[in-house]
Amino acid sequence: MATLFFQGVMAMFSLKIFTLLIVGVGVGIIFGAVPGLTSVMAIALFLPVTYGLSPIEGMSILMALYVGSVSGGLISAILLKMPGTPASIATTFDGHPMAEKGQAYKAIGIGIIFSFIGTIISMLALMFIAPVLANFAIKFGPHEYFAVGIFSLTLIAGLAGKSLVKGLITALLGMMVGTIGTAPIDASLRYTFKSLNLRTGFDILIVLVGLYAINEVLSSAGNKDLMENKNMTRYSVTAKGLGFTFKEFWGQKWNALISGLIGVGIGILPGIGGATSNIISYSVSKNRSKYPELYGTGIIDGVVASETANNANIGGAMIPLLTLGIPGDAATAMLLGGLIIHGITPGPLLFTQSPDIVYGILAAMFISSIIMVFMEYIGLKGFIKILEVKKYYLLPIIIVLCGVGAYGLNNRTFDIWGILIFGIIGFTMKAFDYPLAPMIMGFVLGPIVELNLRRGMQYSQGNVLEFFTRPISGTFIVIALLSIIFSIVRGFLTKSKQKTTN
Amino acid sequence: MEKLKKNKPLVGALFLLVLAILYLLGANTIHIYKGAGASSVGSAFYPRVLGWLLLGLCSIQVFTVLKQMKAKTVEENEEASENLPNYITILLTIVSTGVYIALLEPIGFLIMSALYVFALILILSPKKKRKLVFAALLSLTSSIIIYFLFVKGFSLVLPSGILG
C-alpha cells in the first residue's frame, strides 16, 4: 500500500498534474470563499476541462477543487460572518467573533491548519478503511447491492431534512427521474414521450449541475444584498507567521481528532455531507468542553471543530464512492459523474483493476491539502479582494461555463435545457421547503436498487425471500427498517416536545 | 401573493399528488416483455411501486398540512417580507437563459454567449451601478476566451453557428 501511495505521489509531480492541482486548489478556494458559489459549481465548471485529460489528470484537478472549496469557505465565514459554503456554517459561530476581537488572522490561520489536518485524517481513513471495505464488498451480489441501496435511501430521507415525509417524497422524486429512459434488463422505454433525446435518460451531471449550480445561481439572482456585496466590513489581516502559538495548537489535539472522526463518519453515511458534519462536530465539541459557555464568544475551539470536520468529510464521502459506487454527498456525486465519463466504474473491483486511480486520488488529496495551506496563507489578501468582485459579473459567466460542460457531454443543446429545467425544479423545491439532497441520492441510488432487484429476482428464480435470508442483505434490510422506525419515533418525540414547550 | 404564501405548503403537496397520479398512469403505457425468461418483476413494477409510495406520502403530506392550517390560522405571517427574493429578476434570468439555449445552435456559441452575458449583467446589476462599456468588454472577452480555451485547448466541440 505504501509503495502504491508513494507511486501515486510521484505521479503528481509531473508538470501538467502539478499545474492542474495548483489551478484546482486556487479556483476551489475562490468558489469556497465567495458566498453563492459552491463546491459542486466549481467541480461542474471544470468537468469539461477533464473531458480531454487522462483519468488520473482529470480526477486530480477535481479532487483539488473539492479540497480547496471545502476549506475556502472559512475565509468569508470569519471575515463576513457569511459561510462561503454550507460546510463552514459553524465556522461563523466563533470565527466571526474572533474577527471582531481583532483576531481575524489568528482565526483564519487556525482554520487553514485544521482544514489541512482534517483532510489528512480523512485521507488516512480512506486509505485504511476503503481497501478493507472493498474486500468485503467484492462478495456482494445483486441481493446485497439492493439491500445497501435501500438502506442508504432510508438514511438520507430520514436525516436530510426537518420532515421525514418531505425527505421521502424528494427521494422518490429523484428515483422517478431515474426511471426516465431505457429500463435495465429488458430495455423497455419508460417516460420518454417518444423523444429520442430522453431515451438515454438524464445524465447524473445534468441533474446535479441543474439542482445545485443553476439553482444556486437563480437564488443568488433573487438576492439583492448578495449581488451588491452588502455587509462587507474590513478586518485587518496583517500579521506574520501562522497566527497562533504551538501551545494553542497542541491544546486542540483531542478536539481536532474527535472532530475529524465525526467528519469521516458522517462523510461515509451517504447523502449527509459537510453541511451537517461541521454543525454536529461543533455541538459535540461544545458539549464535551470544560468551558461550553465560552463557545460563540470567539474561541479557537469552535473554529477547530468546524474546519476539521468539514474537510474530514471529504475522505469519508470518498469511501462509499470508491468501494460501492455510492456517493457520500453532492460533490462526490459530481466526482462519480467525472469517473463515469472516463469509463471508470467505481466499486470494489476498482481497487484491484485500477489501483493507480485509487492511489492517484489519495495522492491528489494529500498534495492538494499541502498546496491549500500555502495558497491560503500567501494568497489571503488576494482571496479577500476576490470577495469584493461583484456577483453580477461572475454569475452570467458561470452559467455559460455550466452550459459548456452540459453541451460537451453529448454535443446537444438538449442537455443545456436539462440543466435549466433541473435548476428551476431545484429552485422551486427550495422555495417550497423540500430538501434537495434526498432527490439527488434517489436519482443515483434508484437505478442501482431497481437493477439489482431485478437481477436478484432472476438469480433466485423469482424467490423474494432470498433478499431477507442472505446474511448481508438481510442485515442491511433490517437496519434499513430500524432506521425508518428510528426516524418516525424521533419525529414524534420532537413534535411532542414542541407541544409541551408551547 | 399573501394568499399564495399562506397556502404554499398545500399547493406543493397537491401538485405532487397530481404528479404521482400522472406518473402511475404513465406506468400503464410501459411495454412489458413477456417472452422466455420473463420475470415477475417487469419494467413497470418499479415505477408502479414508486408511484404508489409517492401517492401515499403525498396524501399524508396533504393531511398534515390541512391539520396544521386548521391549528394555526393567522400566524407566522410576520416573516419579514423584505427578505422575499426578487422574483422578476429570477424570471428574467430564466427567460434570457431559455432564449440563449434556443438560439445557441443556429447563431453560434461566440455571438450568443457574448450577448447573453451582457444581457444578464444588465438584468442582475442595480440600475445605478451599470457600466455599459465595461459590461460589453467583459462579455465579449469572456466568451472569446471560453470559446478558444475549450475548442482549441480542450478539443471540445461548441456550436459555431453563422460564423462557421
| CB pair distance less than 8 Å for B50 and A172 | yes
Closest partner residue to B50 among A176, A417, A424, by Cβ? A176
The full set of domain ranges for chain B reads 2-82, 87-163
Q: Give kind and range of the element (H or E) at residue B55.
A: helix B45-71
Distance from CA of A84 to the nearest CA of B (A): 19
The answer to whether residues A166 and B16 touch, using CB atoms and an 8 Å cutoff, is: no
User: Phi then psi for A182, rounded to 5 degrees?
Assistant: -90, 130
Q: Give per-residue pLDDT as tens, B77-122.
A: 444 445 567 889 999 999 999 999 999 999 999 999 999 999 999 9
Q: Give kind and range of the element (H or E) at residue A285.
A: helix A274-288
| Amino acid, single-letter form, for residue B86 | N
Closest partner residue to A172 among B40, B54, B150, by Cβ? B54
Residues in chain A: 502
Residue predicted with more confidence, B116 or B40: B116
How confident is the model at residue A69, as a pLDDT? 93
Closest CA to A300 of A257, A248, A372, A376: A248
Residues of A with CB below 8 A from B157's CB?
408, 411
Closest partner residue to A179 among B46, B64, B135, by Cβ? B46
Closest CA to A303 of A68, A123, A99: A99
Closest partner residue to A218 among B60, B93, B113, by Cβ? B93
Q: How many whole angstroms separate alpha carbon A55 and alpha carbon A50?
A: 8
Q: How many whole angstroms separate alpha carbon A251 and alpha carbon A256?
A: 9
Q: How many CA atoms lie within 13 A of A478 on its CB side?
A: 8
Percentage of chain B surpassing pLDDT 90? Answer: 51
Q: How many whole angstroms separate alpha carbon A178 and alpha carbon A444?
A: 7
Grid coordinates representing A231 are 455587509
| CB pair distance less than 8 Å for A48 and B156 | yes
The answer to whether residues A209 and A203 touch, using CB atoms and an 8 Å cutoff, is: no
Contacts of residue A414, defined as CB under 8 A and 6 or more positions apart, other chains included, come to A197
Strands A181-182 and A189-190: antiparallel
Q: How many whole angstroms separate alpha carbon A400 and alpha carbon A229?
A: 22
* Inter-chain CB pairs, A–B, below 8 Å: 166
Q: How many whole angstroms separate alpha carbon A367 and alpha carbon A60?
A: 10
Nearest Cα residue in chain A from B121: A392
How confident is the model at residue B77, as a pLDDT? 47
Q: How many CA atoms lie within 13 A of A52 on its CB side?
A: 15
Q: How many whole angstroms separate alpha carbon A298 and alpha carbon A317?
A: 30
E-assigned strand segments in A344-434? none
Torsion B76-B81-B85-B88 (CA) sign: positive
Residues of A with CB below 8 A from B54's CB?
169, 172-173, 176
Grid coordinates representing A466 are 432470498
| Residue of A393, A422, A445 to mutate, interface with B, max B Cβ within 10 Å | A393
Please state at what angle helix A55-79 crosses helix A104-137, rounded to 10 degrees: 140
| CB pair distance less than 8 Å for B156 and A395 | no
Grid coordinates representing A132 are 478493507
| Mean pLDDT, 10 residues at a time, chain A of 502 residues | 81 88 94 86 87 90 94 90 85 90 90 94 92 89 91 76 84 94 85 86 89 89 75 67 84 93 88 79 90 90 94 92 87 89 88 88 94 92 85 90 89 93 94 88 90 88 86 91 84 73 60
Closest partner residue to B117 among A173, A191, A397, by Cβ? A397
Contacts of residue A307, defined as CB under 8 A and 6 or more positions apart, other chains included, come to A71, A74, A88, A91, A110, A111, A114, A115, A118, A278
Q: What is the DSSP letter of A229?
A: T
Q: How many whole angstroms separate alpha carbon A149 and alpha carbon A326?
A: 8
3-state SS of A141-194?
Answer: CHHHHHHHHHHHHHHHHHHCCCCHHHHHHHHHHHHHHHCCEECCCCCCEECCCC
Closest partner residue to B158 among A191, A393, A404, by Cβ? A404
Residues of B with CB below 8 A from A421's CB?
none
Closest CA to A494 of A156, A170, A163, A153: A163
Closest CA to B45 of B17, B59, B24: B24
- The residues that bridge with A182 in the sheet, in sequence order, are A189
Torsion A41-A43-A47-A49 (CA) sign: positive
| Amino acid, single-letter form, for residue A344 | I
| CB pair distance less than 8 Å for A176 and B47 | yes
Q: What angle do CA B135, A29, A374 make, to 5 degrees?
A: 125
- Say whether pLDDT at B72 is over 80: no
- Say whether pLDDT at B40 is over 60: yes
Distance from CA of B77 to the nearest CA of A (A): 15
The answer to whether residues A355 and A295 touch, using CB atoms and an 8 Å cutoff, is: no
Which residue matches cell numbers 482565526?
Answer: A107
Grid coordinates representing B46 are 418499479
Closest CA to A62 of A40, A88, A89: A40
Q: How many whole angstroms separate alpha carbon B69 and alpha carbon B72?
A: 6
| Residue of B59, B117, B124 to mutate, interface with A, max A Cβ within 10 Å | B124
Distance from CA of A138 to the nearest CA of B (A): 26
| Amino acid, single-letter form, for residue A5 | F
Reduce the DSSP state of residue B66 to 3 states and report it. Answer: helix
| CB pair distance less than 8 Å for B54 and A395 | no
Nearest Cα residue in chain A from B108: A413
User: Phi then psi for A433, rounded to 5 degrees?
Assistant: 70, 35
How confident is the model at residue B80, as a pLDDT? 46
| CB pair distance less than 8 Å for A417 and B101 | yes
Reduce the DSSP state of residue A444 to 3 states and report it. Answer: helix
| CB pair distance less than 8 Å for B43 and A186 | yes
| Residue of A19, A20, A172 to mutate, interface with B, max B Cβ within 10 Å | A172
Which region holds residue A296: left if phi is over 0, alpha if psi is between -120 and 50, else beta? Answer: left
The full set of domain ranges for chain A reads 2-501
Closest partner residue to A399 among B60, B97, B126, by Cβ? B97
Grid coordinates representing B85 are 427574493
Grid coordinates representing A355 are 489501483
| Residue of B6, B21, B120, B130 to mutate, interface with A, max A Cβ within 10 Å | B120
Nearest Cα residue in chain A from B124: A392
Listed in sequence order, the DSSP H helices in A34-159 are 39-51, 55-79, 89-100, 104-137, 142-159
Distance from CA of B2 to the nearest CA of A (A): 15
Residues of A with CB below 8 A from B100's CB?
403
Query: CB B25: neighbour CB atoms within 10 A?
Result: 10
Residues of B with CB below 8 A from A192's CB?
none
Closest CA to B123 of A212, A38, A37, A395: A395
Q: How many whole angstroms separate alpha carbon A90 and alpha carbon A73?
A: 11
The answer to whether residues A357 and A54 touch, using CB atoms and an 8 Å cutoff, is: no
Distance from CA of A262 to the nearest CA of B (A): 32
| CB pair distance less than 8 Å for A453 and B41 | yes
Position B1 confidence tier, pLDDT thresholds 50, 70, 90: low
Q: How many whole angstroms separate alpha carbon A115 and alpha carbon A307?
A: 5
How confident is the model at residue B3, as a pLDDT? 60
| CB pair distance less than 8 Å for A169 and B16 | yes
Q: How many whole angstroms separate alpha carbon B161 and alpha carbon B153?
A: 20
